[in-house]
């Protein structure tokens, strides 16, 4: 078989964002676009000859074509073996699991996560290192630098590999093993959680509803909930992965997972509801007529961890992204373990987990996980909750309210303004930066500004520094407003405003977050001049 060296010219826009390179499908379909980026990865990671790679994606439009291209390029670049999920399917957490279990050199994951798919939707690609986690910023910077200089790529002339058939074939001198994407992951889950206890709870009449949102977790949910935990088939919905996610937006939040939300807030609602996103790494947790914020979820899981088989020995520490609420910090303090505050994006947790400094990690964007893999893990979070519920035998709402009573409640909300013109969004951020001096010490009603800064993180393990990770307006009572530009969007700019206020008084805990945060929201809109600068009266999404 013939290895071709194809001449190419660089694209200037292949800078990986919060989680890999994400672009519209037509951008990825331009001649050489995907190939340039894949060659830039291979050139940057310097894999030894004969190395093994894991490969798969969330099943969105262009997944299969991209996998064929990457397989042929891997063969032409000296890889010895690629483990590819059957049908090209591999959820992000299961990719991480497979990289770790089979000690591959790394993996390529094809996903734009919660972004819509289809011919005009989004596509994405990222490289995960041998620890199973997203490549660090040093590596993604190297890939970007390479993409700006690339002049050729290597690809094998060969027929497509049959992706639906389990087993091994040869592609030139490289072995391709098509494997069942679900079984290794399901086994890992069974090793961490008490499936017998969860099964007994479900048999006792506890009703659940899981929404896979026509995304990658469908087959995983069927195997785990139906086969291994014995739920009825109407406990899982939208389990067939579709290339366009059924036209939906596979993002598990109160806005986009409304089908599930309506069920959990309706008559005769189940006791527990959950959903995951396009690539299976996010989770939303609901009780009967009750929503658990992701920040609270992390704190509750941390506080209950020793009830769970895989975590009986306790936690080494907790890490949360900067915009995530400080609810987890209070648990860490009570447990007398460290709590780390990192920039947004899972790649910043990897070093801390590898160094054994943290066990649980979480983000306010519906991401929670532990050191069992190096990615956030949607089904893991759902199973963790089910296991806690099986042990404590209380409702989701009771568990959360008891948590607030003990630790206080961190009222929390995020406002997203999507699809803004880039210069308008930058204008808001620059205006805020220019206001730091004037804001410091200023009083707004009951809130006094203590400090303002642009979050900068120094990795405690490798000393790398990440600047400009979000503007923080910190108030003297511990409340915060954070402004950040998204690094995962593909259209214009998305501005995120994060709001947090701590409340120790149990009598005020039942308040709606939007009510409790009203004053802070008004301050955020006022100091950012957001309405006049963007012309938006309301955010696109509130979570």
Pair 521, 538: CB distance under 8 Å: no
Pair 427, 446: CB distance under 8 Å: no
Mark 175-186 as b/e (b = at least 16 C-beta within 10 Å). bbebbebbebbb
Q: Map the footprint of ligand VG1 across residues 114-143, applying CB under 6 A.
A: 114
DSSP state of 244: T
| Angular region, 213: left φ>0, alpha ψ -120 to 50, beta rest | left
DSSP state of 222: I
Catalytic residue from among 96, 113, 235, 295: 113
Binding mask 1-40 toward ligand VG1 (x if CB under 6 A, else -) reads -----------------xx---------------------
Of the pair 63, 304, the CB lying nearest ligand VG1 is at 63
Query: Which residue among 14, 36, 86, 113 contacts ligand VG1 (CB under 6 A)?
Result: 113
Asked whether position 277 contacts Co ion by CB under 5 A, the answer is: yes
User: What does 487 bind: ligand VG1, Co ion, none (CB cut-off 5 to 8 Å by kind)?
Assistant: ligand VG1
Q: Which residues pair with residue 444 across a beta bridge?
A: 447
Stretch that binds ligand VG1, among 275-283, 400-408, 501-509, 518-526 (CB under 6 A): 275-283
CA angle, 334 as apex, 331 and 336 as ends, to 5°?
A: 105
Pair 295, 285: CB distance under 8 Å: no
Longest dimension (CA), the chain: 73
Binding mask 398-437 toward ligand VG1 (x if CB under 6 A, else -) reads ----------------------------------------
Of the pair 211, 279, the CB lying nearest Co ion is at 279
- Least separation, in Å, of the C-beta of 515 and ligand VG1? 25
- Least separation, in Å, of the C-beta of 324 and ligand VG1? 8
Of the pair 282, 347, the CB lying nearest Co ion is at 282
Stretch that binds ligand VG1, among 47-55, 338-346, 420-428, 529-537 (CB under 6 A): 338-346
Q: How many residues bind Co ion (CB under 5 A)?
A: 5
Asked whether position 346 contacts ligand VG1 by CB under 6 A, the answer is: yes
218 alpha-carbon distance from chain centroid: 17
CA angle, 72 as apex, 88 and 44 as ends, to 5°?
A: 95
Q: Could you confirm whether 113 is annotated as catalytic?
A: yes
Of the pair 310, 367, the CB lying nearest ligand VG1 is at 367
CA-wise closest residue to 54 among 108, 18, 9, 1:
108
Of the pair 27, 448, the CB lying nearest ligand VG1 is at 27
- Least separation, in Å, of the C-beta of 124 and Co ion? 10
User: What does 486 bind: ligand VG1, Co ion, none (CB cut-off 5 to 8 Å by kind)?
Assistant: ligand VG1
Q: Locate 438 and state its tokens.
A: 């004037």
DSSP string, 282-341: BEEEEETTEEE-HHHHHHHHHHHGGGSGGGTT--S-EEEETTS-THHHHHHHHHT--EEE
- Least separation, in Å, of the C-beta of 20 and ligand VG1? 8
φ and ψ at residue 336, rounded to 5 degrees: 60, 45
Of the pair 18, 325, the CB lying nearest ligand VG1 is at 18
Binding mask 113-152 toward Co ion (x if CB under 5 A, else -) reads x---------------------------------------
Q: Locate 453 and state its tokens.
A: 């800064």
Asked whether position 459 contacts Co ion by CB under 5 A, the answer is: no
Asked whether position 63 contacts ligand VG1 by CB under 6 A, the answer is: no
Q: Locate 486 and state its tokens.
A: 């998204």
Q: Map the footprint of Co ion across residues 205-244, applying CB under 5 A.
A: none
Stretch that binds ligand VG1, among 259-267, 340-348, 520-528, 529-537 (CB under 6 A): 340-348
CA-wise closest residue to 381 among 397, 363, 393:
363
Q: Locate 228 and state its tokens.
A: 């291994």
Query: Which residue among 122, 279, 296, 329 contacts Co ion (CB under 5 A)?
Result: 279
Of the pair 213, 389, the CB lying nearest Co ion is at 213
CA distance 249 to 259: 12
Pair 124, 23: CB distance under 8 Å: yes
- Least separation, in Å, of the C-beta of 277 and Co ion? 4
H-helix or E-strand containing 38?
A: helix 33-45
CA angle, 216 as apex, 210 and 217 as ends, to 5°?
A: 30
Q: Map the footprint of Co ion across residues 101-120, applying CB under 5 A.
A: 113
Please list, in sequence order, all residues whose beta carbon lies within 8 angstroms of the beta carbon of residue 479, skipping any fewer than 6 positions away: 447, 500, 501, 502, 520
Q: Map the footprint of ligand VG1 across residues 472-511, applying CB under 6 A.
A: 486-488, 496
Query: Which residue among 217, 325, 344, 370 contacts ligand VG1 (CB under 6 A)?
Result: 344
**Residue of minimal Cβ distance to ligand VG1:** 113
- Least separation, in Å, of the C-beta of 113 and ligand VG1? 3
Enumerate binding residues for ligand VG1 (CB under 6 A). Answer: 18-19, 113-114, 277, 281-282, 321, 344-346, 363, 365, 367, 486-488, 496
Q: So which residues are the catalytic ones?
A: 113
């Amino acid at each position: 078989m013939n290895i071709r060296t194809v001449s190419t010219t660089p694209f200037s826009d292949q800078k990986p964002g919060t989680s890999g390179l994400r672009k519209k499908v037509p951008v990825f379909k331009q001649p050489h676009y995907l190939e340039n980026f894949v060659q830039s990865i291979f050139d940057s990671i310097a894999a030894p000859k004969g190395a093994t790679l894991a490969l798969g994606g969330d099943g969105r439009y262009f997944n299969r074509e991209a996998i064929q291209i990457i397989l042929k390029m891997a063969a032409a670049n000296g890889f010895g073996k690629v483990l590819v999920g059957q049908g090209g399917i591999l959820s992000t957490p299961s990719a991480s699991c497979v990289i770790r279990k089979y000690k591959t050199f790394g993996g390529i994951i094809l996903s734009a996560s919660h972004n819509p798919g289809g011919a005009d939707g989004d596509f994405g690609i990222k490289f995960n290192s041998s620890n199973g986690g997203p490549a660090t910023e040093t590596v993604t910077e190297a890939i970007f630098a390479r993409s700006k200089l690339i002049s050729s790529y290597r690809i094998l002339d060969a027929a497509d590999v049959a992706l639906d058939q389990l087993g091994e074939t040869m592609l030139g001198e490289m072995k391709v093993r098509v494997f069942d994407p679900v079984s290794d992951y399901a086994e890992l889950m069974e090793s961490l959680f008490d499936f017998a206890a969860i099964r007994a709870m479900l048999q006792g009449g506890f009703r659940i509803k899981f929404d896979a949102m026509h995304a990658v977790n469908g087959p995983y949910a069927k195997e785990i909930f139906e086969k291994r935990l014995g739920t009825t088939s109407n406990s899982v919905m939208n389990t067939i992965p579709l290339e366009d996610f059924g036209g939906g937006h596979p993002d598990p939040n109160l806005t986009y997972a409304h089908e599930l939300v309506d069920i959990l807030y309706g008559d005769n609602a189940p006791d527990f509801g959950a959903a995951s996103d396009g690539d299976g790494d996010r989770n939303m947790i609901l009780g009967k007529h009750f929503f658990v914020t992701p920040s609270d979820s992390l704190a509750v899981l941390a506080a209950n961890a020793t009830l769970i088989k895989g975590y009986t020995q306790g936690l080494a520490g907790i890490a949360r992204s900067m915009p995530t609420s400080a609810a987890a910090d209070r648990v860490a303090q009570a447990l007398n373990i460290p709590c780390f505050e990192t920039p947004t994006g899972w790649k910043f947790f990897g070093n801390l987990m590898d160094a054994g400094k943290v066990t649980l990690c979480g983000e306010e964007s519906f991401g929670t996980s532990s050191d069992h893999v190096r990615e956030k893990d949607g089904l893991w979070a759902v199973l963790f909750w089910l296991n806690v519920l099986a042990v404590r035998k209380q409702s989701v709402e009771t568990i959360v309210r008891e948590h607030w009573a003990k630790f206080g409640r961190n009222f929390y909300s995020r406002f997203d303004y999507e699809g803004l013109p880039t210069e308008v969004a930058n204008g808001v951020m620059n205006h805020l930066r220019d206001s730091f001096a004037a804001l410091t010490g200023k009083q707004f009603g009951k809130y006094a500004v203590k400090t303002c800064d642009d979050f900068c993180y120094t990795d405690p393990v490798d000393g790398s520094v990440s600047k400009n990770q979000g503007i923080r307006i910190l108030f003297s009572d511990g409340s915060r407003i954070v402004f950040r530009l998204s690094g995962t969007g593909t259209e214009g700019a998305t501005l995120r405003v994060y709001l947090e206020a701590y409340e120790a008084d149990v009598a005020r805990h039942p308040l709606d977050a939007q009510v409790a945060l009203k004053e802070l929201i008004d301050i955020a809109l006022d100091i950012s001049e957001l309405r006049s600068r963007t012309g938006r009266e309301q955010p696109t999404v509130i979570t």
